[in-house]
Amino acid sequence: MTEPTAQEAIKKAERAKAILADPLVSETFETLEKNYFEAWRDTNPEDIDARESMWQLLWASAEFRRHLSVILQRGQFHKNHLDKVKKRQKS
């Protein structure tokens, strides 16, 4: 996969920001993570497969959020860099 251009990274960051700020998305993640954790907690310690499945779902949910945060940070980096370049060009 190729690296996005600065403009593409900025557009992706705007979309990631909107997704992360969406109350429905936040509520959905909170509900899923709570349900996965409770299901993991309530499994029998000997039921390794069920516990592992719940833990993987919990981890994947958090990883999805982290990935969106990384996209947002990259876009902010590119936006800040382009803003500095434009500012220098005006000077």
Section 34-41 average pLDDT: 95
Crossing angle of the two packed helices 23-42 and 6-21, in degrees rounded to 10: 70
Q: Report the predicted TM-score, pTM, of the whole model to 2 decimal places.
A: 0.81
Give residue 11's pLDDT: 96
Section 40-62 average pLDDT: 95
- Which single residue is written with the structure tokens 């945060």? 69
State yes or no: pLDDT of 2 exceeds 80.
no
Q: What is the pLDDT of residues 22-32, one digit of tens each?
A: 999 999 999 99
State yes or no: pLDDT of 76 exceeds 80.
yes
Enumerate the domain spans of the chain. Answer: 8-86
